[in-house]
Amino acid sequence: MKSTEFTSAAAAGVETGKQRVTGSNLAEVIGELVAANRILFRQGVVDAYGHVSTRHPQMPHAFLIASGTAPALVSADHIVELDLDGHEIGGTPQSLYLERFIHAEIYRARPDVGAVVHSHSPSVLPFSVVPTAQLRPLCHMSGFLCSGVPVFEIREAAGDGTDLLISTPQLGRALAATLGPRSVVLMRGHGSTVVGSNLREAVFQAVYTEINARLQREALALGTPVFLTAEESEACVATVSASIDRAWNLWSDQI
Amino acid sequence: MKSTEFTSAAAAGVETGKQRVTGSNLAEVIGELVAANRILFRQGVVDAYGHVSTRHPQMPHAFLIASGTAPALVSADHIVELDLDGHEIGGTPQSLYLERFIHAEIYRARPDVGAVVHSHSPSVLPFSVVPTAQLRPLCHMSGFLCSGVPVFEIREAAGDGTDLLISTPQLGRALAATLGPRSVVLMRGHGSTVVGSNLREAVFQAVYTEINARLQREALALGTPVFLTAEESEACVATVSASIDRAWNLWSDQI
Amino acid sequence: MKSTEFTSAAAAGVETGKQRVTGSNLAEVIGELVAANRILFRQGVVDAYGHVSTRHPQMPHAFLIASGTAPALVSADHIVELDLDGHEIGGTPQSLYLERFIHAEIYRARPDVGAVVHSHSPSVLPFSVVPTAQLRPLCHMSGFLCSGVPVFEIREAAGDGTDLLISTPQLGRALAATLGPRSVVLMRGHGSTVVGSNLREAVFQAVYTEINARLQREALALGTPVFLTAEESEACVATVSASIDRAWNLWSDQI
Amino acid sequence: MKSTEFTSAAAAGVETGKQRVTGSNLAEVIGELVAANRILFRQGVVDAYGHVSTRHPQMPHAFLIASGTAPALVSADHIVELDLDGHEIGGTPQSLYLERFIHAEIYRARPDVGAVVHSHSPSVLPFSVVPTAQLRPLCHMSGFLCSGVPVFEIREAAGDGTDLLISTPQLGRALAATLGPRSVVLMRGHGSTVVGSNLREAVFQAVYTEINARLQREALALGTPVFLTAEESEACVATVSASIDRAWNLWSDQI
């Protein structure tokens, strides 16, 4: 898929307060969401499972997400509109992702969030199951981890007999509460959820959460690493956020 | 290979008790078995060696498997029908897999098993040779490991001078005995065997046994991991089994 | 891209003292620089970020570098001419790399340097954040590491609140001072910079810095490794430098 | 390259005592040697460097090898005939591999050897630099490691100021002496050399030396592994050698 397909959407990108919508036209937003699905697969964040959503450009209390399909196979026809209770708005009934409440409840709790990525990305998952390990920003690309990366332990919310999935609004609210104002929350034995103010930022941060986890695992094997200070992290986020399109352009060229 | 090639087989899928046959037509079953061979290669479970079989849809005391060929090169012409003594039923004599007794004896011992995958998958093999390591379910995708993953030590069955291969009915029975009612058995210095109630489930479980082994190795390097409880594992299996087709559809699209 | 595209440039290659320019014609130099960008991506040294430059073949106080684009997408149209203050010479204003001062100040401080690669290559980065780890030459391909691999700690130059980037001439000079007369400098929490007397050597050394880091990480996990002696390193550099074109020809064939 | 291209060579394969030549026709042998070069690249054993040779089918005191080119780019035109002093027999002078004496002196010392692979394969190299680590057969595919894997320390043969390369007949003889009657010799800080009775066996053993090294590294991180006994190793070699063509057919299909 050529990056030029996304050029007009980018050109039409509007920013409305903290919640930035890339592209004011629904078709353009859907086009970017399809690209996001394929990018996340190509970059190794999602496999046959995982999902990405973006807040609806015209309805702040709704979001766009694929119906139950592997991200690499998503096309515009798979995109559905869901409200914040996880119900489909109009349209023919589809097989929806069981865990759509991750997205719904985060959009409800976080007006600043414009996009959500949920994945089982391989280097991040081990950090979710080792209580003594803590994912922290190791390099300038991942300053967004600076506010801490909490681990959601579903046993605290629903006991030790669940299927670990966020399959109800209640569990979605518990996950959103653990996420708090941060960018990333790990989910024990399951994966992680990464948010961003817009779709490209959420995708970017999901990719670099995975990269940071791999770097941190390898650094820990070498010795005791130096992490970014809070000030460094903030400065890095400010600089890096201005160059996210460079990565997006490459990644969309490769799908 | 397009996933649509398998649609009619899936549409025609029938479930008969615990042993579910996907597709009642022999040609469709063979088509899925060819796809399974190629998927297992593409997903890194088998290399030039390893094999996958499915119980014969019309003859419960027989199974379908490729003749001695690398899985990635298997086509419908390679599929042969073997009885539970490992003899070919009719057909021209072919070069059969030496280890067909893995399949034959598991089908004999386990009426609930509809498909078997044998591989040397790379992350699993180290767990087979380190007595103090134990493969356990680390994430919701691999709850099927919950009943334990025994290691078959061929020295106990046949002394310490064998070629490690399951090349006789007797060794096949010993392996089946170690597997017991479980889904996965490791084979020391050799690899593993994964079973499922049908072909898609066996392939899925072989892929996620490999993924769980990699995740567990990396988690162990970080510290002491939290594994799934038995209740969590059972709940995960129940949920995940309903979405195996999502992975199968992606994987068959990529071969 | 076929290696034959570079044959004429190689044939026209001239060596002028220590600073060797491959190809005296500007168009040929630009062609090699475009190839270098793509090679570094294909060989896993750069991802969406990182950059490579070569000293201007006619103006020793200027260099050629892409404008702000992912290396894998660079074409001849992206190449700009910058002076050693990081200003573009003539041409239309472009979006320049923030960190062009890495290149500018190293060219100023090191007349022997003909090309510079800056990257976040994945196996090298962990060595930049663990003070007790030290990248050293482990094999004959990486003798160029023998003069030591210092780590640039930006906190010493600019405090602990920076974005870690070399975004000013002053920081470029501090980095060049840490590099000194060596081939490689690590940058804490950021990546590394590798220089060479010409473009092919810089690319070669950037690739083998990454390879050496991976080998060293794995060797350290096995025990205490034997590194090259200083004499071995020097002898290796002398021999290996004569066969860099073998790698370049392969790598340019693969882009 | 389709495996069928090699079918006639295989059909014409002759075995003469221990030194088996696959294909009695020179053109067929050259075809297999070209395939071997590309296979070794595709399977990750060689990168831009490394080389493979086969004993000359008509002249036991000569061998066939590519001239100085990256293995992935080798075609029939690159293959030269060298005598056991490393001189080219007839033909136009070419740029020969500096380390052709590895091959020449092993053919001289080992009449049973029909093919030689020299590489810097990535998982093996760390074992060459850690004196306390010892590569040993961990699984049934690598029983050929059972006679031990010595490490050639060039400092013992030529002091600690060499470029580590086997660039003279004398060093070739020292390496061959360390190899002795075995299949694999590691070379400190450099790589390894693997021999076989014929080309396919040497390629097979080079691939599985690399695989065994990776498996052993990962097993050692988990705990203390159980290795094959000498009897198991011998039995494995006897069985596995009969199925090398299965791997060769797959690998040649993928180049």
pLDDT digits (tens, 9 = 90+) for B176-213: 999 999 999 999 999 999 999 999 999 999 999 999 99
List chain A residues with pLDDT less than 70. 1-24, 93
Mean pLDDT for D115-143 is 98
First to last CA, chain B: 5
pLDDT digits (tens, 9 = 90+) for D194-238: 999 999 999 999 999 999 999 999 999 999 999 999 999 999 999
Q: Which chain D residues have a beta carbon less than 8 Å from that of C138?
A: 125, 129, 189
Range of lowest pLDDT (B156-165, C86-95, C139-148, C165-174): C86-95
Residues of D tagged active-site: 99
Query: In terms of residues, how long is chain D?
Result: 255
8 A C-beta contact, residue C194 and residue C202: yes
pLDDT at residue D33 in the model: 98
Mapped onto helix, strand or coil, the DSSP state of residue B215 is helix
CA distance linking residue C62 with residue C56, whole number of Å: 5
pLDDT digits (tens, 9 = 90+) for B39-55: 999 999 999 999 999 99
pLDDT digits (tens, 9 = 90+) for D108-125: 999 999 999 999 999 999
pLDDT interval class at B30 (50, 70, 90): very high
pLDDT interval class at C52 (50, 70, 90): very high
pLDDT at residue A148 in the model: 96
Which subunits count as partners of chain C given 3+ CB pairs below 8 Å? A, D
Q: Mark yes or no for CB contact A49/B222 under 8 Å.
A: no
Beta bridge partners of B187: B152, B191
Q: Which chain D residues have a beta carbon less than 8 Å from that of C253?
A: 72-73
Q: Cα distance from B31 to chain D (closest Cα, Å)?
A: 20
- Rounded to the nearest 5 degrees, what angle is found at the Cα of A181, between the Cα atoms of A176 and A184? 70
pLDDT interval class at B171 (50, 70, 90): very high
Q: Mark yes or no for CB contact C139/D125 under 8 Å.
A: yes
Mean pLDDT for C179-207 is 98
Nearest CA in chain B to D231: B161
Nearest CA in chain B to A48: B247
For residue A220 the two structure tokens come to 């820990």
Q: Mark yes or no for CB contact C161/A229 under 8 Å.
A: yes
Residues of chain D above pLDDT 70, percent:
90
* Residue B99 known to be catalytic: yes
Q: Where are the alpha helices (DSSP H) in chain D?
A: 7-11, 26-42, 100-109, 125-129, 154-158, 169-179, 199-222, 230-240, 244-253
Residues 6+ apart with CB under 8 A from A123: A210, A211, A213, A214, A217, B218
8 A C-beta contact, residue C191 and residue C118: yes
State chain C's mean pLDDT as an integer: 91
CA distance linking residue C190 with residue C49, whole number of Å: 11
Domain locations along chain B: 3-253
Half-sphere exposure for D44 (CA within 13 Å, toward CB)? 10
Residues 6+ apart with CB under 8 A from B181: B110, B147
Residues of chain B above pLDDT 70, percent:
90
Q: Cα distance from C158 to chain D (closest Cα, Å)?
A: 38
Q: Which chain C residues have a beta carbon less than 8 Å from that of D167?
A: 239
Q: Kindly report the CATH number that applies to the domain delimited by B3-253.
A: 3.40.225.10
pLDDT interval class at C24 (50, 70, 90): low
Burial pattern C204-229, b for ≥16 Cβ within 10 A else e, equals: bbbbbbbbbbbbbbbbbbbeebbbbb
Residues 6+ apart with CB under 8 A from D253: B72, B73, D1, D2, D3
Instruction: Report whether pLDDT(B38) > 90.
Output: yes
Which subunits count as partners of chain D given 3+ CB pairs below 8 Å? B, C
